[in-house]
Amino acid sequence: MDFTVLITLILGALVGGVVVFLVLSQMKSDGQTSSEEMKNAFSSLSFEALEKFNALASETLKNQLEKGEATLEEKKKLIDSNLETVSKTLEELKKQSTTLATQLGESQKETGKLRSTAEDLRNVLSSSQARGQWGERMVKDILELMGLVENVNYVSQKSLESGEKPDYTFNLPKDKKLNMDVKFPLAHYEQYVSADSESERENEKKAFLKDVKGHVKDVAGRGYIDPEAGTVDYVLVFIPNESIYSFLHENDPELLDFALRKRIILCSPITLYAVLSLIHQAVESFAMEKAAGEVLSLLKEFEKQWQLYVEVMEKMGRRIDDAKKEFENLTTTRTRQLERSLTKIQDLKLGQDGSSLIEETSGENKES
């Protein structure tokens, strides 16, 4: 915009100069002025135009420089702001990279632990004795977590009257018992997990499900349910892994119902915790109910003894009142009566003393 104005002024000055030149030329032709006057007039006009041009050019250049500096300053601030944002972004990316590297390291450690755990699980599943110990160890951990005490809330490996020996027997209210078996057939499940081909996996899965049904039938026939001996009508069978429990439920949904019909409750670690929590709560509720009954009996006995105590205290109070009255009688009426009698006695004594004194005086007079 300023350059346009500048060019316009330059063109105006040139046009003005041309016009002046033409006018002076005309005047010269008319003989109105001399050549020297024309030269001076043109020079004056040119100098004036040049000064205006220089002033305008300087001002325009100054404005352009100021605007340029302002624009550069704004661009510099924008660049600095962008550089700061980029720097912060790079710093954040650096932190995230460090965090990601740490997480990857921890993930690798956890993966190593998981691999080791899987290997340990495979070793456990490959030995029937180790499987039994593993199940018992898990049950003990659950019992300790719940605060159940051996020989108080449960007993282990105690023979029944039938000769059978369940792994655990839980004590219920009213002298009831609940038996549990923790030995679970996992051999074919281990082979199923480690199978290489799909057909082998399918065969091992069928064999494992068959073993589970056979184990349910075997436990149901062991005599763990004996109402005459005080047992309840169900037996717990512990499955030492949640994934195995889910596997059974997904691949044979009828298996759980089949076990229930045999009065067998299949329990995963979480299910066992829930069942034992209910048992523990029932035992505590029964104990509280029994304690409440004993408290009521004690309260009745206390009420009886309190009535006797009140009656005795009332009798004692009446006796104390009677004794108080007797005491007041002794300290008032009886005391006054005694005092009057004592006064009379003293008066009589004084009288006798006076008579004796008179008699003695009379006798002395006679002797003299």
121-138: per-residue pLDDT in tens? 555 555 556 666 777 888
CB count within 10 Å of CB 236 equals 25
Q: Are residues 127 and 44 in the same domain?
A: no
CB contact set of 139 (below 8 Å; sequence gap of 6+): 167, 168, 180, 182, 238, 272
Q: Tell me whether residue 14 is in a domain.
A: no
Domain assignment of residue 208, yes or no? yes
Same domain, 151 and 242: yes
What residue numbers bound the domain in which 243 lies? 114-288
Residue 365, pLDDT score = 47
Same domain? 276 vs 153: yes
Q: Are residues 43 and 165 located together in one domain of the fold?
A: no
Q: Kindly tell me the burial class for residue 271, based on how many C-beta atoms sit within 10 Å of its own C-beta (0-12, 13-18, 19 or more).
A: middle
- Structural domain includes residue 146: yes
* Domain assignment present for 191: yes
Task: Provide the residue type at 177 as one letter.
Answer: K
Q: Please check whether residues 151 and 275 belong to one and the same domain.
A: yes
φ, ψ dihedrals at 155, nearest 5°: -130, 155
Q: Is residue 323 part of a domain?
A: no
Quick one: 149 and 283 in the same domain?
Answer: yes
18 in a structural domain: no
Q: For the residues of 116-163, what is the DSSP string, one character each?
A: HHHHHHHHHHT-HHHHHHHHHHHHHHHHHHHT--BTTTEEESPPPTTS
Number of domains in the chain: 2
Low-confidence ranges of the chain (pLDDT < 50): 1, 30-33, 357-358, 360-361, 364-368
pTM: predicted TM-score of the whole model, two decimal places: 0.47
Does 340 map to a domain? Answer: no
Name the residue among 207, 193, 195 with its Cα closest to residue 121: 193
222-241: per-residue pLDDT in tens? 888 888 888 888 899 999 88
Say whether both 52 and 176 belong to one domain. no
Which domain-ending residue is among 288, 318, 353?
A: 288
User: Of 45, 238, 1, 234, which is closest to residue 142 (Cα–Cα)?
Assistant: 238
Q: Look at residue 15 and tell me if it is in a domain.
A: no
- Specify the pLDDT at position 357: 45
**Residue 128: predicted pLDDT:** 58
142/257 same-domain check: yes
The answer on 124 and 45 residing in a single domain is no
Q: For residue 32, what pLDDT is reported?
A: 46
